Amino acid sequence: MSETHPFYKLTELIDKFNNERNSLDLKGLQDLRENIALTLFYLSDSVSMTIANAESNDFARKRFYAEREEYYRNEIDERTGKNYNVADSERKARLDSKKVDDDCAHAFKQKERARLVVLATQQILNSISGRITQLTK
């Protein structure tokens, strides 16, 4: 039996808060806050892997550019019969890089999404804490 990924569990808990926030009692709010915080903790492995993936993709993109530029600097430009100059090598490397650029952009999109999920979840936890404080007065 497979476990539900923490992201989906977190989504369920936040949906519950959104739908029931005005009807939850003190105990319900406290339980919900604890469950959200715990699920956020369980999400940390996925978030850290997403961040590492983005950094790895960025490194791979930079390495690809360097390798392609070096390759073109050692190639002969058919127009001039001379090695490609630096500007031409860079331009040709950029033309070759669509896949690594797309992969890197996708990885950075995932990293930003993970960052926003964590930030929004922290704000929701703060909101729940505020409701708890109001109910305990």
What span, in angstroms and rounded, lies between the C-alpha atoms of 103 and 108? Answer: 9
What is residue 137's predicted lDDT score, i.e. its pLDDT?
Answer: 82
Residue 12 belongs to some domain of the structure = yes
Reading the block at residue 82, the tokens are 């001379």
- Is 1 contained in some domain? no
Inside any domain, residue 19? yes
Query: Can you give the pLDDT at residue 2?
Result: 54
Residue 72, domain member (yes or no): yes
* Cα three-residue angle 49-55-59, rounded to 5 degrees: 140
- Inside any domain, residue 84: yes
Least confident of 5-9, 23-27, 76-80: 76-80
Number of domains in the chain: 1
Range of the domain at 40: 6-136
Task: With respect to residue 121, please indicate whether it lies within any of the assigned structural domains.
Answer: yes
Q: Can you give the pTM of this predicted structure?
A: 0.82
Q: At a CB cut-off of 8 Å and minimum separation 6, what does 68 contact?
A: 89, 92, 93, 96, 97
Indicate whether 64 belongs to any domain. yes
pLDDT for 3: 79
